[in-house]
């Protein structure tokens, strides 16, 4: 891979001579893993340490790699040919050169990879990974870090079938792939500084789950949009972030991340002339009707159940997602649940009783960026704390993770006026900036092509090809 262009790529210099390779963190220090089980599918995989030229062949079969201080021990499991190799880290499993294009299910099977770190859908899944596999022990961790190095287009095929299903329409998958490719190139800095990889495989970056979810439709989509990216008016890769559902109106990036991101501004995610237009922007004065009003009975927003029926949505979601109602939803929290989540996930360590929740600043999509918490502290005094931005609000109001911060809060009191709990009514899933995945799916189901989908969510961008 030494002859391939590697990331990061300098902003503004977006032409390439060839498809680059990427390094993706698959198992992170925070996953707390000291050993990893994997299956080698075919001959010609080789095990080596660092820059060593000597390599140990691995026969097809099951193996486990364990950390031993600064070394790794790799052992065969089951009936495959016995092998026990001890090597100093990092340890690399080199994949054989392929004469054909990768297919669904190709690659090394790695077991029990965490998906959805920190979210309500978190679980472990097995993944098949093409390319090379590296095992590291970073200086600041005693746990194993595993990195997958592979060609960008193979990575993107794993992204579009991890973020959503390989059953999605081709035009949506092309739009998702172009956004994902643009995001990867448009990052101003690595989300994981100091690690032996630039990006990870999960929601803080992009979901990448290998070849197990690939479909022929996904492979076709990647082929048809190969090398295409969104370029901003400032001649840079668009940092094309995205989320699952806008709830009807997308959000300004500056109110999510406290920085301007070129091309990501609030947009109405509905056909021209839609009733949704009268709620733009969503404010404290109209959010009750926006979330619960009669207009929803004839709602034509592209992420709404009228366009993507809730009974069919499981077919299109990623394999770690759970079916549910995401366009509009409600949850209830008792006083005890609020206290627990605000202490453990909201950072209010001295909270003993929640007195009330007051909404603060909103973005144009209705998402809260300030939530004021009135509470009794451990010393008996009354205090007010402000949760911000939207991510901290979603974390603080749920022991797992709230779908969105586009919410209204209805308090519940006992006869003495004490807060016993709250009902939270909400809309959308995720931060809401950029591409809406369910809305983009709805647009594709209504006949829009990839270009039309992308231009509906990103402002003042052009579509260009950066390599063949």
**Three-state secondary-structure class, residue 279:** helix
142, with CB counted inside 10 A (0-12, 13-18, 19+), is exposed
Give the CA distances from residue 342 to residues 46, 49, 348, 359, 406, in Å, rounded to whole numbers and listed in that order: 49, 46, 6, 15, 18
For 166, the token pair is: 């390989």
Place of tokens 């994902």: 180
- What whole-number distance in Å separates Cα of residue 328 and Cα of residue 342? 24
The pLDDT value given to residue 103 = 86
Cα 247 to chain centroid distance, Å, stands at: 18
Cα 447 to chain centroid distance, Å, stands at: 26
**Three-state secondary-structure class, residue 433:** coil
Total residues found in the chain within this entry: 468
Please state whether the predicted TM-score (pTM) of the whole model is above 0.85: yes
Q: Are strands 382-387 and 71-77 parallel, antiparallel or unpaired?
A: unpaired
- What whole-number distance in Å separates Cα of residue 199 and Cα of residue 68? 26
Q: At what angle do helices 170-186 and 152-163 cross, to 10 degrees?
A: 120
Q: Is the peptide bond before 8 cis (omega within 30 degrees of 0)?
A: yes
Closest CA to 431 of 363, 380, 375: 363
Half-sphere exposure of 459 (CA within 13 A, CB side): 14
- What whole-number distance in Å separates Cα of residue 319 and Cα of residue 78? 29
Would you write out the chain's pLDDT as a tens digit for each of its 468 residues?
334 444 444 444 566 778 888 999 999 999 999 999 999 999 899 998 866 667 888 989 999 998 887 788 888 887 666 567 777 678 999 999 876 778 888 999 999 998 888 776 678 999 999 999 999 987 776 789 999 999 999 999 999 998 888 889 999 999 999 999 999 988 777 788 888 898 999 888 999 999 988 999 999 999 999 999 999 998 889 999 999 999 999 999 999 999 999 999 999 999 999 999 999 999 999 999 999 999 999 999 999 999 999 888 888 876 545 556 889 999 999 999 999 999 999 999 999 999 999 999 999 999 999 999 999 999 999 999 999 999 999 999 987 789 999 999 999 999 999 999 999 999 999 999 999 999 999 999 999 999 999 999 999 999 999 988
For 150, the token pair is: 């592979």
Provide the 8-state DSSP code for 450: H
The stretches of 294-366 forming alpha helices (DSSP H) are: 335-344
For 424, the token pair is: 């939270």
Tally of CB atoms within 10 A around 344: 13
- What whole-number distance in Å separates Cα of residue 152 and Cα of residue 173? 16
For 186, the token pair is: 């448009």
Tally of CB atoms within 10 A around 112: 14
**Three-state secondary-structure class, residue 137:** coil
Domain ranges of the chain: 21-229, 328-427
329, with CB counted inside 10 A (0-12, 13-18, 19+), is buried
The stretches of 107-169 forming alpha helices (DSSP H) are: 152-163
Provide the 8-state DSSP code for 429: B
The stretches of 129-267 forming alpha helices (DSSP H) are: 152-163, 170-186, 216-224, 253-257
Q: Where are the beta strands (DSSP E) in 61-180?
A: 61-68, 71-77, 84-88, 91-94, 108-115, 123-129, 132-136, 145-151
**Three-state secondary-structure class, residue 88:** strand
For 259, the token pair is: 């920085």
The pLDDT value given to residue 12 = 46
Measured between alpha carbons, how far apart are the two ends of the chain, in Å? 18
Tally of CB atoms within 10 A around 336: 11
CA angle at residue 89 from 59 to 36, to 5 degrees? 55
The stretches of 313-436 forming alpha helices (DSSP H) are: 335-344, 390-396
Under 8 Å between Cβ of 354 and 375: yes
Radius of gyration of the chain (CA): 24
């Amino acid at each position: 891979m030494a002859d391939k262009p590697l990331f990061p790529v300098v902003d503004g210099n977006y032409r390439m001579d060839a498809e680059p390779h990427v390094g993706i963190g698959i198992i992170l220090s925070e996953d707390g893993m000291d050993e990893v089980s994997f299956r080698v599918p075919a001959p010609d995989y080789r095990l080596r340490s660092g820059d060593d030229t000597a390599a140990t062949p691995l026969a097809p079969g099951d193996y486990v790699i364990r950390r031993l201080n600064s070394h790794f021990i790799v052992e065969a499991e089951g009936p495959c040919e016995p092998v026990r190799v001890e090597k100093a880290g990092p340890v690399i499993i080199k994949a054989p050169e392929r004469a054909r294009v990768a297919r669904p299910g190709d690659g090394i099977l790695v077991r029990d990879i965490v998906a959805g770190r920190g979210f309500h859908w978190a679980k472990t899944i097995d993944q098949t990974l093409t390319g090379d596999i590296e095992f590291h022990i970073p200086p600041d961790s005693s746990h194993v870090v595993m990195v997958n190095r592979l060609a960008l287009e193979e990575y993107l095929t794993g992204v579009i079938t991890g973020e959503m299903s390989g059953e999605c329409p081709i035009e949506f998958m092309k739009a998702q792939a172009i956004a994902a490719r643009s995001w990867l190139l448009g990052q101003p800095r690595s989300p994981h500084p100091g690690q032996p990889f630039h990006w990870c495989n999960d929601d803080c970056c992009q979901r990448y789950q290998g070849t197990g979810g690939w479909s022929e439709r996904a492979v076709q989509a990647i082929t048809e949009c190969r090398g295409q990216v969104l370029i901003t008016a400032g001649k840079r890769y668009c940092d094309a972030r995205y989320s699952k559902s806008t709830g009807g109106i997308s959000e300004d990036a500056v109110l999510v991340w406290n920085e301007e991101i070129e091309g990501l501004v609030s947009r109405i995610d509905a056909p021209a002339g839609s009733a949704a237009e009268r709620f733009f922007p969503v404010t404290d004065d109209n959010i009750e009707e926006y979330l619960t009003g009669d207009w929803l009975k004839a709602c034509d927003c592209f992420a709404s159940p009228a366009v993507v029926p809730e009974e069919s949505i499981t077919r299109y979601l990623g394999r770690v997602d759970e079916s549910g109602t995401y366009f509009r939803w409600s949850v209830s929290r008792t006083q005890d649940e609020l206290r627990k989540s605000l202490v453990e996930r909201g950072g209010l360590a001295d909270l003993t009783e929640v007195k009330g929740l007051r909404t603060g600043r909103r973005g144009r999509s209705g998402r809260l960026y300030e939530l004021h918490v009135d509470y009794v502290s451990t010393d008996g005094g009354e205090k007010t704390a402000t949760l911000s931005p939207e991510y901290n609000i979603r974390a603080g109001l749920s022991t797992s993770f709230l779908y969105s911060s586009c919410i209204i809060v209805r308090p519940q009191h006992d006869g003495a006026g004490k807060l016993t709990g709250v009902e939270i009514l909400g809309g959308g899933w995720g931060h809401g900036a950029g591409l809406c995945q369910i809305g983009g799916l709805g647009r594709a189901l209504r006949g829009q092509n990839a270009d039309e989908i992308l231009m509906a969510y990103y402002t003042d961008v052009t579509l260009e090809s950066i390599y063949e």
